[in-house]
Amino acid sequence: MRKLLIFITVAASAWLGGCSAVQVGATKLSEAKDLLPSFGIERLPLVYRPEILQGNLLSSQQLEALKVGMSRREVRFVLGTPMLDDLFHADRWDFAYTQGVGSKVKTIKRMTLHFEGDKLARIEGDYAPDDVSDRQVMTENEVFSVPDWVDPGMSLLQRLTRVVGLPTTEIDE
């Protein structure tokens, strides 16, 4: 019985894609989607497909602050650490950003920065600053509500009576 359960567990994990390579007869299947038809899991109505954001999302303020002639240190301060910093191409930084739902990619943005020595020489890529009309204006008078401080020495019953609005009685210990 134990061997049967182990076999079913291994077979199910291989079928669902837990293994990177599965031998079925003489055919080697490298991915789980080879086992499933193309209309399978991707199109089921109740399967959750999370939004996946990967890479460096650069704002228009960061792009406007970026100028040719800046040092590497200044660029790293403005944009952050690049996603790809190749050892073989030390004068090139790549910033990439992808957005998708499930396994389908909707947006791909790339930006490549080329340096000559320590100075930024050239900027290439899909990123572009937003129009002035699309920008959000920051207001200086933003109001935040901060909850009242609750004494950690209060018991749960005392906290509940305080929330409800009943008068609390002090219990001498």
Domain count for the chain: 2
56 and 122 assigned to the same domain: yes
Supply the range of the domain harboring residue 116: 48-131
Domain annotation covers residue 61: yes
Written in H, E and C, the secondary structure of 110-137 is EEEEEEECCEEEEEEECCCCCCHHHCCC
Same-domain pairing of 52 and 125: yes
Given this model, what pLDDT does residue 173 score?
43
pLDDT of residue 105: 85
- Print pLDDT tens along the chain (173 aa): 777 778 787 777 666 654 444 444 444 444 444 554 555 566 677 778 888 888 888 888 888 888 899 999 999 999 988 887 788 888 999 998 888 887 788 888 889 999 998 999 999 888 765 554 445 555 667 777 777 776 677 788 887 887 888 876 655 44
* Domain annotation covers residue 12: yes
Q: Is residue 172 part of a domain?
A: no
Half-sphere exposure at residue 131, Cβ-oriented, CA atoms within 13 angstroms: 2
Which among 86, 78, 57 has a CA at the least distance from the CA of 120? 78
DSSP tag of 160: H
